[in-house]
Structure 1
Amino acid sequence: MPFDSTSPPLFDHADHALSIALDLRSSGDWPALEQFCLNALQRFPQDIELRWQLSHCFWLRHDSVAAEAVMREAALHHPGNGLVSGAIAMYLNEQSRFAEAEAMYRVALTESPDEHGFAIDLADLELRRGAWRDGWLRFDRRLNRSQHGENGVVARMERVGPSWRGQALDGKRVVVYSELGLGDDIQFVRYFPQFAEGVRRNGGEALLAVRAALHPLIRRFVPDCVALEAHDFGTVDYTVAMMSMPLWIGLLPHQVDGRAYLHAAPERIDIWRRMLASDGSDALRVGLVWAGSPTHRRDAQRSVPIAALAPLWRLPGVAFYPVAPGREGDIAAMRSAGARIAELPEYTEHFHDSAALVSALDVLVTVDSSPLHLGGALGKPVLAMIDGASHWCWGEGETQPWYDSVRLVRQRRPGDWTPVVERVAAALCGRLAQRAAMRSQQASALASLG
């Protein structure tokens, strides 16, 4: 008999209720989870875990105000609880109430000083408001987490060589390695030459180790880099996580250079250009990324539902190309809704192929995922659809220093992507008009020569 979330609770222990709540969460039935938690909290009003599940349910449904209210009530039952304060801070952050979130994270760290996750979230807020000296230093606490990240790369690399903490480098060899997401690697690999030069000036040598998926592309920027998975490091005295380079070079906001620094192989770009032109169309060729990795903590907040993309399908003279391998189900749904999504041959998941494809396109429209950083690093025009809270590096407005070619199109209300997509559609119409005007001018110039 299926469980009825609307019926009165029939259990005697909060642990039993939590088990049912977790099953409902796994099923993705958010209305049932909400109703069940509300019923269960009538019997166990002080249970933190049930309140957390209810608040998280509201957050996943883009209602951080309700999520905050749930945890505020938990704080009345459990004053001084760092986990409760940290949850409140998280929901304040999701509402773009950044100053309040920062203050609450400081409270949470006072109550639970060993919660490294709170320190990392606080560092994000410090970096967002430009306090980079404090932010980079605090962000290094991510290396202290017991699991050293979900993929354990920090722990593995510390077995290769201890983390460098400012020791003398004369005659020493330092390996800088990929650590967080692929987008983070693309964004911050630009600082390896500066870091390596500092190591060299101090008598040492630096080697870059990036994930295999990025290696062919990054090798065009740092020719002697190696693939992280190959473990071909040679002698290693120290290791440095990629995202710690800004701390060691003392990176400040005014030092960020938004010029392109990555380049796809010209022969691969030519292959893609010929392939894209083979349909004989004169359309504006637009790459499209509507969702990031489903394992990302904020994927529900940063991904755009397929239905919200409808304004794009009405644009004349625009052809869309999915820069998202492995999402055939989404692509089929878009086509059934009238989208002109071009067929692309299978290509590898190595970013040198993605870089060549993006380089061959006219514009990239993307959510906040690694293709955004790829397009920006390549200097391609990018329209970035980002949610209100988003990653710290995008600040709070619609300009950013990281990539000169990237324009931010920011969500104004949580979960409401329609205005964002409409503005993207208007921007693409503007590009079509610019292209038409340029071609008209060129035709007039040629006619005058005749």
Structure 2
Amino acid sequence: MDEIISALLSEDATPHDFAGLRLPESYRGAVVRKEDTGMFEGMSSADKDPRKSLHLQDVPTPEPGPGEALVAVMASAINYNTVWSSIFEPLPTFGFLERYARRFPGAARHDQPYHVLGSDLAGVVLRTGPGVNAWHVGDRVVAHCLSVELESSDGHGDTMLDPEQRIWGFETNFGGLAQLALVKSNQLMPKPEHLSWEEAASPGLVNSTAYRQLVSRNGAGMKQGDNVLIWGASGGLGSYATQLALAGGANPVCVVSSEQKADICRKMGAEAIIDRSAEGYRFWKDEHDQDPREWKRFGKRIRELTGGEDVDIVFEHPGRETFGASVYVARKGGTIVTCASTSGYRHEYDNRYLWMSLKKIVGSHFANYREAWEANRLVAKGKIHPTLSKAYPLEETGQAAYEVHRNLHQGKVGVLALAPREGLGVRDEELRARHVDAINRFRQEEARTS
């Protein structure tokens, strides 16, 4: 591994040099273990601690099969699916691995008593399997997290509809929170060269998810002038939705939970901001009943910020806590597009406000390769910026996941794998200089408040 790191840090290393490197028999990865799946039994979600379930251990190095690549991971990032995996909710991920292993002979190696997590990476291709032509050893890459087989016709209009669609590092093994990672070659995209490794690793999952959900015709199909309500607008998903709305000529209405998070939205360029904590919105009277009066108060506040207009699009991901309000405040004919349920999966809403006002609920899950490529292209051009606030070493992945679980973070939390320190990997200094303040926006806010 020391030889690999030396080559990765050298600006003079050639593809031939990388091809000549010996692969280690094992590597270190952040894992959950099958034997631990009952460790949090009987505890509330809030009390489950990823620091107790995430372990760093050596795992055997997999050989890339047909259409696959083995990547040396310089940096990765924490997503909420890592949090779910680490607290074994809504169910342990080992069931995903077992089912995948039964589907194809080549997938059997994913069924292990450990699960290497992580659905983001930036790094360098070390090996490619048979049939890989577009990518070569030594290529500097980032990876999106869509894993597909594409043997069914269903996935050839939109690969997200492939019956064998999975999220890499969540529903497959050998994820990005590790020194090495195994990916399909059609997960790879060019690394934005004005970004450091940890910056380049952080947008992948959330930026692609937000792009499909908000911009793509498979999602809300946002257009210029749309009013877009964005829940958690300074968080991992919301911070990219806010940027995409602003870059696309829409008007984001940013919902946040503190003045600090409101200030981040202002710095991104948003003007319409609702601090739901300061304004005291409580959409549920109790565990069983919502409060329509709060929906109405919320809708009135939105119209105060938009010049009397309701929102065209609601960018939903909290789920149960907010969904009734989201359906209510969307304009007649508007769209509620949802990609997650971080506050609960069982959504409740008053259907009269949906059917009688001709509103639409659209489900959106990650992104297909083209959508992920377009989202990454915006980052590479400096149109959309990473929202990285801090980065932890691989050894402290549990702490990084804990902070995301407890919502103690801003934007994205990164993880350094083979990169020995932050700030490495930048090649386009000119483009970086033009956007350095935006690139560092979330880091500066973290430093200011810590």
Say whether the fold is shared (TM-score over 0.5). Answer: no
Greater C-alpha Rg: 1
Higher relative CO (CA 8 A, sep ≥ 6), structure 1 or 2?
2
Greater fraction of residues in strand: 2
Greater fraction of residues in helix: 1
- TM-score, normalised on structure 2? 0.30
